[in-house]
Amino acid sequence: MAPKAEFDSEDVAAIVEDLKGLEGPLLPILHAVQDRFGHVPDEAVRVIAHRLNLTRAEVYGVVSFYHDYHREPHGAHTLKVCRAEACQAAGGDAIADRIEKALGIKFGETTADGRVTLEAVYCLGLCATAPSAMLDDRLFGRLNAAKADRLTAEAQL
Amino acid sequence: MTTRIFIPLDSFAVANGADELCDELTHLAARRGLDIEIVRNGSRGMAWLEPLVEVETHQGRIGYGPIEPGEMEALLDAGLMNGGAHAKCIGDPEEHPFMKGQTRLTFKRCGVTDPLSLDDYEAHGGLIGLKRAIEMGGAGVVDEVTESGLRGRGGAGFPTGIKWKTVREAAGERKYIVANADEGDSGTFADRMIMEGDPFCLIEGMAIAAVATGATKGYIYLRSEYPVAIRVMREAIRRATAAGVLGVSMMGSAQAFDIEVRVGAGAYVCGEETSLLDSLEGKRGQVRFKPPLPAIKGLFGRPTVINNVISLASTPEILAKGAKFYKDFGMGRSRGTIPLQIAGNVRHGGLFEVAFGLTLGEIVEGIAGGTDTGKPIRAVQVGGPLGAYFPRALFDTPFDYEAFAEKNGLIGHAGIVIFDEDVDMKKQARFAFEFCAIESCGKCTPCRIGAVRGLETMDKVIGGENVSGNLELVEDLCNTMQFGSLCALGGFTPYPVMSAIRHFPEDFEGTPMRVAAE
């Protein structure tokens, strides 16, 4: 995954100007901002609100509603492990526990060295090759203990 | 002569090493001087065989699977180029028993063609439906789809033709077609598979809906958890636009129609149609009160068709072959075919498109071959996280909207998740509340508060605290959620909870048993 850019409110302004012609531009703008900087800082919320003629509360309300957006920086890599029913049925809970232990963190946390953020995800659509996970934007299926260990090792690189 | 080798781009294959296999094959072919073309096809739906590598020979296609990274060299040594013998050879994939038992209408091209080749799409029957729709005109299309008996495949089962008729007759200068590709139900992947494996089919279905209603703009609201589908769908739209299928003059007609992919942001509730529309508008994805119906006042207050991906993708075949052809499949008021998605602890999991009417037992024990662990099936959750858990005693229930409703269940988006005898139904009931609490949009009280109180109460049950009293409380709470919630998230969470309690009472009795090791 490409390293994230340093925050720059001029960049945010440019993203907004580029996308504001879309119908309902706020989600595409927030995705673009998070892609660029790795998170959606409060200062970006201020710039977006100003340029879209919305209140900061409205933009903040959208950022906080969706699981994908986060206001604080994440680890260099994000490991999302599916916790939904099909993965549960295929032994996913044990895999999830193993990954937590290997990384030494709980779901929703980032490792102390800032390398990995571990998140729960509810379904990657890989339910017939469960359990599954996604490291940044790469998909992994049929996780067993050995594959889970390789995945956590790779995430920490 | 160039030999065509197929390695799927479908997420099932990619998550299990397909991209690595392509790299291996490319290097090996260069080293050995082999004249090959790698086609990244969709998945045929036999997920347990993915990555399923196929070669085109004089005798037809020969498949090998599941091929793991590192196995390509041995596969070539075994004579892959000529369809040679190998332990993982399955012969002609279309002759596989899993495929022979299906009726592939919507998914007929998926896994067969190059998903991003419009020529391949047309060569396999694509665009015939849209051409016929343009000739017939909007009123004729609405009649045809209504006559086919097609009902919404997202789960609600509302007749598609009636929805289209309402939008057609609604006044409005600008109308929209919205494809609901926010396929968040665990155990479902049909939308993903068609978008990755035959994206032009969804594009054609949306264009047919545009002809029917006079809409000029289409959106595909696609969840962020589907990176492959996002990439394939966007490229397919670009190619369809370049070829004039979409654009100012759709297929050379007088009507303009464009499609845009919008990526969701990880909110399950946005699969509910009105919260999806709010999300598309750039708001918090909160559920709207109905009326007004989206068909009258939908996206940006304008008349809007919002349909599930599979509903839309089913219409090209209906228009191409006629309503009667489609209607002749199925049972009762459930007409046509349904792509079953068999998942979880399953031996032969994947996508199985078939006419309505198979029994649940035929599906999970016959077609799917039982569990992967080899232990007996104990419970089957049908219809996603808001669907009921079915015990073996109800395995004779036929797959049909009404038959499942009669048994206090739902078919939803046709996801079927199999659990073996190790499942603890207390944990599953607890999870249903937990999931609802995580995903509630917060607009209505029964869902927002009910889910949290339900979770707390289930924790008491699991802890052995006043079990019968607390189970009564859960039942009362479920009643409030079912009848008082604004949408299916709060309204249907009682299905998994109450079905677990009713059908598996032994898991809820007495002292704390297998308490979750957390």
Give every residue of chain B whose pLDDT is below 50, as ranges. Answer: 511-518
Is residue A20 a contact partner of residue A29, using CB atoms and an 8 Å limit? yes
**Is B4 in a helix, a strand, or coil?**
strand
Residue-level pLDDT at B513: 46
Q: What is the 3-state secondary structure (H, E, C) of B107-121?
A: CCCCCCCCCCCHHHH
pLDDT tens per residue across span A50-66: 999 999 999 999 999 99
Residue-level pLDDT at B510: 63
Q: Which CATH class is domain B330-420?
A: alpha beta
CATH of A77-156, one of 3.40.50.720, 3.40.50.880, 3.40.30.10, 3.40.50.800: 3.40.30.10
**Is B27 in a helix, a strand, or coil?**
helix
A5 known member of a binding site? no
Residue-level pLDDT at B517: 39
Q: Which CATH class is domain B425-507?
A: mainly alpha
Contact B266 A68 (CB under 8 A): yes
Residue-level pLDDT at B512: 47
Residue-level pLDDT at B516: 40
Cα→Cα distances B169→B59, B88, B166, B212, Å: 52, 55, 5, 10
Residue-level pLDDT at B336: 96
A127 known member of a binding site? yes
Gap between the Cα atoms of B455 and B349, Å rounded: 31
Reported ipTM: the value is: 0.97
What residue in B sits closest to A82 (Cα-Cα)? B186
Enter the tokens of residue B482.
């079912």
pLDDT tens per residue across span A1-52: 567 889 999 999 999 999 999 999 999 999 999 999 999 999 999 999 999 9
Gap between the Cα atoms of A152 and A138, Å rounded: 13
A8 known member of a binding site? no
Main-chain phi, psi angles of B272, to 5 degrees: -75, 135
Gap between the Cα atoms of B361 and B355, Å rounded: 16
Residue-level pLDDT at B515: 42
Beta bridge partners of B128: none
The shortest CB-CB distance from B267 to any of A24, A67, A82 is to A67
| Contacts for A17-23: CB closer than 8 Å, 24+ residues apart | A17/A51, A20/A51, A20/A52, A23/B217, A23/B280, A23/B281, A23/B300
Residue-level pLDDT at A2: 62
Contact B265 A24 (CB under 8 A): no
Contact B186 A141 (CB under 8 A): no
Q: Give start-end residues of each CATH 1.20.1440.230 domain in chain B.
A: 425-507
Residue-level pLDDT at A95: 98
Measured in angstroms, the CA of B507 and the nearest CA of chain A are apart by 16
Domain residue spans in chain A? Answer: 9-65, 77-156
Contact B285 A87 (CB under 8 A): no
Is residue B390 a contact partner of residue B187, using CB atoms and an 8 Å limit? no
Residue-level pLDDT at B226: 98
A68: chain B residues, CB-CB within 8 Å: 224, 264-266
The DSSP letter of residue B71 is: -
Give the whole-number percent of chain A exceeding pLDDT 70.
99
A89 known member of a binding site? no
Count chain A–chain B contacts defined by CB atoms under 8 A.
158
Task: Return the CATH superfamily for domain B3-100.
Answer: Glutaredoxin (3.40.30.10)
A137: chain B residues, CB-CB within 8 Å: 227
Q: Give start-end residues of each CATH 3.10.20.600 domain in chain B.
A: 330-420
Q: What is the CATH number of domain B118-327?
A: 3.40.50.11540
Residue-level pLDDT at B511: 46
What residue in B sits closest to A29 (Cα-Cα)? B282
Residue-level pLDDT at B403: 96
Residue-level pLDDT at A1: 53
**Residue of A20, A35, A129 best to disrupt the B interface, most CBs of B under 10 A:** A129
What is the edge-to-edge ordering of all strands in the sheet holding A138-140? Answer: A116-121, A77-82, A133-135, A138-140
What is the rounded average pLDDT of the residues A101-116? Answer: 97
Within 8 A by CB and 6+ apart from B1, the residues are B35
A66: chain B residues, CB-CB within 8 Å: 264-267, 285
